[in-house]
Each structure stands twice: as structure tokens, then as C-alpha cells.
Structure 1
Amino acid sequence: MVTAEQVQQYIAAGLTCDYLTVAGDGQHFEAVIVAAAFSGKNRVERHRLVYQALGDRMRAEIHALSMKTLSPEEWAQQQG
């Protein structure tokens, strides 16, 4: 079974993140990902970048991943 920490490491290895946190129970995970690569991209394009970072693990090890993907500018606005 994969851990939230492992999923976080997988994403970080394939995508440069300004902020990244992952929580989950071994099968279902929730991630908040802030990356400059997301600037100017829509939600589908952002999710594709994360799936690319995860590669085959998305099919084999991770059964469900809920993502909140933000650019650094969007993150700064949310943080006030």
C-alpha cells in the first residue's frame, strides 16, 4: 500500500512545486499542489501535468486522487 508521503514524493520528483501537501488512507488521496507550471493553464491541463508526474503509479498504486491545483499567484490570493 502506498502512503501519502510516497505520493507527495512522486509528485515532487516529477513537478517543481512551490507548495505540496498530500493526505490519504492508502487508496484515496487529496493533494494541494502549487506550481508555476500551472500558470495560464486550465484545470484539465493542470491535472494532466500531475498525472504525468505520477506516471503508471496512477493506475497501479493510487486508486483515487483529488487535487486542488493552483498557480503561485492564485495561492497567494487565497492565503491573503
Structure 2
Amino acid sequence: MNMVTPESIQASITAGIDCTHCTVVGDGHHFEALVVAQAFEGLRSVRRHQLVYAALGDRMREEIHALSMKTLTPDEWKA
């Protein structure tokens, strides 16, 4: 089984969401993502997270066991 890397998670997120900024850090088991996207404008936190989960698809169920995330709009990130 391939080791899940922060870079591979970041690539999946940016392939599915037009991000202005995306960073993922982690140790292979637990990951933290900062995702900044205009697509989050007007959405509640739960819906923003659902968009990230959708971008990750089956990886969330099969490969990634723990992902905490901060999801911001570009304006929120600037503040």
C-alpha cells in the first residue's frame, strides 16, 4: 500500500477545487489542510468541508484516516 503524502492530498484538492491557496501538512496518518477558495464564499463550514471531501473522493474513505481542515475565502484569509 502506498504511503499517503501531504503532496498527494494537496494535488487531489487542487484538482477538484479552484484554490487560491492550498497547503497540506502531515505525518502519513494525520493531516492538516488550509484551503482558500472563492468557491467557499457564502457557504457554511460544513458545506465547505463537503466540497473538500468531494474533491478527495474515495481517498477519504480508503487512504486518509484523519484530516483536519481550515477552509477560508480569499477575503477571510487576507484578514
The TM tier, using the shorter chain, reads over 0.9
Deviating above 4 A after TM superposition, structure 1's stretches of 4 or more consecutive aligned residues are none
AA in 2 matched with 1:71: T
Could you tell me the TM-score, scaled by structure 1's length? Answer: 0.94
CA distance in 2, matches of 1:61, 1:12: 17
1-side partners of 2:69 and 2:75: how far apart?
A: 17
Structure 1 segments unaligned to the other structure (5+ residues): none
3-state SS of paired residue (2:70):
strand
Q: Kindly state the Cα deviation for residue 76 of structure 1 after the two structures are TM-superposed.
A: 1.0
RMSD, aligned CA: 0.5
Unaligned runs of 5+ in 2: none
Percentage of pairs with the same residue:
64
Q: Are 1:74 and 2:76 matched, yes or no?
A: yes
Q: TM-score, length-normalised on structure 2?
A: 0.95
Question: What is the letter of the counterpart of residue 48 of structure 2?
Answer: R
Pairs aligned (count): 77
Higher strand fraction: Structure 1 or Structure 2?
Answer: 2
